[in-house]
Structure 1
């Protein structure tokens, strides 16, 4: 329980109140939320909780000699908020960024709400809703707030009942916080947190009045409140809103966008390197640099010291700490060609439940170039729908290495995508090595590998169903799936010597 004194008690307005189980019966009828009490003869102890709900380092214990009585009149503030201005919460350069700190009270104007979603990979194995939005305070500093479970339900219910409301103020009391990528993130602290959304209480009414007084037409147009749509389903994301492409047609794309492809992971483009040293703050690659530093013993001269530098200037303003992250170059094949994709740790963890740190902890020899974790080979011959990013580098340089944004092997998604393409994208049963097994095959087949970039830009399947796909050169030749399947099988047998 959290107890708030009408005076500042032990240098903090709120403290933890504990009661041993054997004494609960005597006091439980009085221990109710918002109940004002008079407490006499409690004992005082040290608050040793690892996760603290209040700032006080002490706690009050109710014992056999304690007298608890209901107060005749309410005293003190009703809610006892202790708001922290966003700019006052400073990132600790020695913090690893993984652990949250607590508690924190924040109040802010909702600038934008991100799509809500459901997460099934939690500790208790149950589905849990998640809602994320951006708050802005009176000093125009912004933070991210992520709420889970019943607190996310509060946000979603408000969205549903107040679809057109853009002037929304939210209070999060007894939250926890951490920094990620240089941004402050606040979340609910188990079930202790309180969330107030446009509630008719003095703190929210006064904040809204002050914020709206500062707002002008140009700034208000950028605030969407909590009226963001609910996150689209997986089927909608993969089947409705993004362009589809065969692998062979990727070279014909001339604009930056996301596309969906279907393919089977046949091999790794390189087994010499499977991870990189990333900045713990922003996940970008770090480099070592040698600098001259004054000697610690204050003697004349300088010592040469090797330090880590991040590609992000903001990260270099403090000590850069690195952590290994998985980065795989995978070779993905469909019936029109082969492409190299870049798969990062986030997606690998979802598929294999293992990260770079865990792999290296199990076998430090894997840190040496040329050593490849056997655990990652479990990805071979698995078929996925890949959401990949076509960026200016791919377009201007005519190179692949497209980054994988998301991927799924959900059977219903794969089935619907197969039906959409109206073609059976056959997966060769023989794994393809990083390099061709025979550099001079006897039969020379006109099949394009998107890495080789041969002169002929046309691919066997890129002219399929000219109502859906066209080759980059614009040729239109109709053919049946069965004919293409048979021709592809003969071609692959000749090229890969199976």
Structure 2
């Protein structure tokens, strides 16, 4: 009979701190343990997120001294009848639910199982990817997102600011409109994702829901991740009707795409950095890279000898493509070069991203590499925005010609580098290769040194060639074709500002020009010539004579 005297509340907005006699019917969406600050092994409270029958959500907390038998009711998806809760203040700069109050419990509170639930099961409130990309999402409360996992990074380990071991994985989600965002999952959520992919290696893409995720913006860049212990991750399960509906819609819209478009999810999931560099990926000397005839990843090890001063580009905040700028005198306007952004007439923001052209040398020669944001952050531990500031003036992109200290410190340092030889490199004889991963981990470096010592070079075809053999050549037995290959520059973006440095920028040679190895050559001593089309002058190129090791 006492229940009839309580004020029944169907909507959390009706909660009144002045009236302690409330009667609630709720569903428990999420529970997690909060440890004592000075003793992590002991529980300070049980934290919860509750759902009312009108799909409103609120946080709840029960201190350990009031738990008693109540903790048997605080189970996710339980429907509870809560009598006489107390209402606390929902404080903090960031909150799971942006409600001024939270439900609490004391010795007068009564909790029991209820069976008269008329609300939804999960109370999802999904946020569009477009709003995330445009930073039009609340920074003080959690968000729900749903999307198809179409790419995944490898699992990685790191130390937190409190020197605790942690792990993370980043996945790319695609929505039904084709927009994509990156989501980072930490610790137990990382383990959930890795375990699912381990058990479903045949899948190339699958839907997920991250409920109560965290959105933040740092120096102009957005970030989406799980929110501490209070998030929920649903992975490709028919038990959640929203997952099943999204999967069917995604398949219907993108069924024309080949499975190769989504082929990289399980490929790198379980690869530790050590196994990737030492076991899974083939090792190659720099002199052999240009001889590769099929797309593949390779490991090279060498010393960075040169970095081009043009080390960044201005990128679109939507698609990361290079932007063009125009100056009408009053302001500088950026426009994206991608067909999708042009078609959608998107208003974009531009920010700097790494595009570092570098030359790496080992005992057999050199190789030209290009390192973008992901690879650069592995060794610099900063983004281009961190170095330049958010965002740099448009004219800065034209005048910055001096390497920042962070990049200068990389020169003359030795690294193990995973590079990608792509179809474009082979078909277009483009001899600048993308850095996929880079490390100076002492265990990896030492193991590679032991496995591929400096006195023995194992070629890609399996034949043995010593370093002495590699160096035993003279000017007379070097064909101009090898020089032409080394000097030929093809810019995949048709932008002369972004190409690599030529050898003439590095070596002190008075008479050195760019030759095309596809054209005919003479074999006169020390020189080569190219046959020219009508109107062109014939180029005379003086060969660089390598220093012969005595």
TM > 0.5 between the two? yes
TM-score, scaled relative to structure 1: 0.64
Q: Against the structure 1 CA distance between its residues 225 and 186, is the aligned structure 2 distance closer, same or farther, given a 3 Å change threshold?
A: farther
SS in 1 for 2:142: strand
Q: Distance in 1 between matches of 2:319 and 2:245?
A: 36
| 1:251 pairs with one of 290, 304, 313 | 290
What is the match of residue 299 of structure 1? Answer: none
Q: Is the 8 A contact 1:116 1:129 kept in 2?
A: no
- Between 1:344-353 and 1:158-167, the stretch displaced more is 158-167
**Matching of residues 234-273 of structure 1 within 5 Å:** 234-268=273-307, 270-271=308-309, 273=310
What is the match of residue 317 of structure 2? Answer: 280
Q: Distance in 2 between matches of 1:59 and 1:278?
A: 42
What is the match of residue 40 of structure 1? Answer: 84
Q: Which runs of 5 or more residues in structure 1 are unaligned? A: 292-302, 427-432, 442-448, 458-487, 494-498
SS in 2 for 1:351: helix
Q: Which runs of 5 or more residues in structure 2 are unaligned? A: 1-46, 458-466, 468-502, 524-544
Q: Distance in 1 between matches of 2:385 and 2:159?
A: 20
SS in 2 for 1:252: coil
The offset of 1:333, in angstroms, is 1.4
Q: Against the structure 1 CA distance between its residues 340 and 312, is the aligned structure 2 distance closer, same or farther, given a 3 Å change threshold?
A: same
Q: Distance in 1 between matches of 2:249 and 2:400?
A: 60
Kindly provide the CA deviation profile for residues 122-167 of structure 1, in whole angstroms up to 9, marking residues without a partner as x: 4444443335667789999998765321123234445566778999
Aligned residues: 420
Q: Distance in 2 between matches of 1:322 and 1:435?
A: 30
Q: Distance in 2 between matches of 1:50 and 1:213?
A: 37
Q: Distance in 1 between matches of 2:188 and 2:223?
A: 19
Q: Distance in 2 between matches of 1:220 and 1:435?
A: 44
What is the match of residue 148 of structure 1? Answer: 186
What is the match of residue 385 of structure 1? Answer: 416
SS in 2 for 1:192: coil
Q: Against the structure 1 CA distance between its residues 83 and 390, is the aligned structure 2 distance closer, same or farther, given a 3 Å change threshold?
A: same
**Matching of residues 32-431 of structure 1 within 5 Å:** 32-33=74-75, 34=78, 36-40=80-84, 42-43=86-87, 47=90, 49-54=92-97, 56-60=98-102, 62=104, 67-71=108-112, 73-76=114-117, 80-84=121-125, 90-91=130-131, 94-95=134-135, 102-105=141-144, 114=152, 117-120=155-158, 122-131=160-169, 146-158=184-196, 172-176=210-214, 187-196=225-234, 203=240, 208=244, 230-268=269-307, 270-271=308-309, 273-289=310-326, 306-316=332-342, 317-361=345-389, 368-391=399-422, 394-395=425-426, 398-424=429-455
The offset of 1:60, in angstroms, is 3.5
TM-score, scaled relative to structure 2: 0.58
Kindly provide the CA deviation profile for residues 162-194 of structure 1, in whole angstroms up to 9, marking residues without a partner as x: 778999876543234589xxxx99642210123
Q: Distance in 2 between matches of 1:355 and 1:264?
A: 22
The offset of 1:227, in angstroms, is 7.5
Q: Distance in 1 between matches of 2:243 and 2:269?
A: 27
The offset of 1:225, in angstroms, is 13
Q: Distance in 1 between matches of 2:86 and 2:226?
A: 30
Q: Distance in 1 between matches of 2:291 and 2:333?
A: 43
Q: Is the 8 A contact 1:82 1:105 kept in 2?
A: no
SS in 1 for 2:409: helix
RMSD: 5.3
Q: Is the 8 A contact 1:339 1:401 kept in 2?
A: yes
What is the match of residue 496 of structure 1? Answer: none
Q: Distance in 2 between matches of 1:395 and 1:386?
A: 20
Q: Distance in 2 between matches of 1:401 and 1:343?
A: 10
- Between 1:275-284 and 1:110-119, the stretch displaced more is 110-119
Q: Distance in 1 between matches of 2:92 and 2:211?
A: 19
Kindly provide the CA deviation profile for residues 451-473 of structure 1, in whole angstroms up to 9, marking residues without a partner as x: 9979799xxxxxxxxxxxxxxxx
Q: Against the structure 1 CA distance between its residues 359 and 76, is the aligned structure 2 distance closer, same or farther, given a 3 Å change threshold?
A: same
The offset of 1:439, in angstroms, is 2.7
Kindly provide the CA deviation profile for residues 328-383 of structure 1, in whole angstroms up to 9, marking residues without a partner as x: 22222122323332223333332232333333359999863333323322111111
Q: Against the structure 1 CA distance between its residues 230 and 350, is the aligned structure 2 distance closer, same or farther, given a 3 Å change threshold?
A: closer
Q: Is the 8 A contact 1:85 1:137 kept in 2?
A: no
